[in-house]
Amino acid sequence: MMNRLPVAERREQLIEAALAVASRDGIDAATVRAVAAEAGVSLGVVHYCFQDKDELLRAMAHAITAANLERSLGELPVEKEDPESVIEGIIDALWTGIKESRGPQLLSYELTTSSLRHSELNQVAIEQYRGQWAAAEQVLNLVERSAHVGWSVPRGTLARTIVAVVDGFSLAWLVDGDSEAARSGLQGFGRFLATMAVPAPVDADAAATPA
């Protein structure tokens, strides 16, 4: 009944099916049977493409982490203005992206907690956060170049704070659905972030020096 596909493509199809099921109905609903049904293949195919269910879940976690980062870093507005405006634009774009992906966002938190409990998913959570911290640092880089500023506190500390605040507001929004409160709360944090910006030494743009 189903088209025949090389195993590599079938794997990607199953990963997307798992992502669809888990985003819609939760990580516990992503059983082998549900994923197979979502993909329109029969039960055995999953274990033909993946050794374990855990291997499938790890692949799914890797996929959603990559998708989240791409979404966060993809649509960044680049205008050269004062730090407040640059940060405000970034936060608006970021929050718009989050608001439109409630299911995957909730799934990300489910994956984080599951990773912290089950040793088979050991690396999932830390990889999620390493990626998010790196993405936050790239956002800081963008603000630096756009607004010609530096930072009065270490970048790593700032990046960790950004991720924590976005996570916290997102989680609260998932619970009570008040997206306006989340947006304005994030903008308030953005104004705080702007106070951390200090004018950059001239010609700092092309200085691609430090690690």
Partner DNA sequence: ACTTGACTTGGACAATCGACCAGGACGACC
Partner DNA sequence: GGTCGTCCTGGTCGATTGTCCAAGTCAAGT
Torsion angles phi and psi, residue 145, rounded to 5? -70, -35
Per-residue string for binding with a second copy, 165-184, x by CB under 8 A? xxxxx-xx-xxx----x--x
Question: What is the secondary structure of 15-43 as a DSSP string?
Answer: HHHHHHHHHHH-GGG--HHHHHHHHT--H
Among residue numbers 77 through 96, which ones bind a second copy (CB under 8 A)? Answer: none
> Which one of a second copy, DNA, none interacts with residue 163, CB within 5 to 8 A by kind?
a second copy
Pair 2, 41: CB distance under 8 Å? yes
Among 12, 42, 156, 188, binds DNA (CB under 7 A): 42
Q: Using CB under 7 A, which of the segments 45-53, 147-155, 192-200, 201-209 binds DNA? A: 45-53
Q: Using CB under 8 A, which of the segments 1-9, 67-75, 121-129, 140-148 binds a second copy? A: 121-129
Residue 62's alpha-carbon distances to 16, 57, 202, in angstroms, are 11, 9, 40
| Residue closest to 132 by CA, chosen among 176, 202, 73, 78 | 73
Alpha-carbon span 158 to 84, nearest angstrom: 16
Among residue numbers 3 through 32, which ones bind DNA (CB under 7 A)? Answer: 3-7, 10, 31-32
Among residue numbers 129 through 158, which ones bind DNA (CB under 7 A)? Answer: none
Pair 132, 69: CB distance under 8 Å? yes
Interface with DNA includes 49 (CB under 7 A)? yes
Q: Using CB under 8 A, which of the segments 3-11, 62-70, 135-143, 189-197 binds a second copy? A: 189-197
> Which one of a second copy, DNA, none interacts with residue 45, CB within 5 to 8 A by kind?
DNA
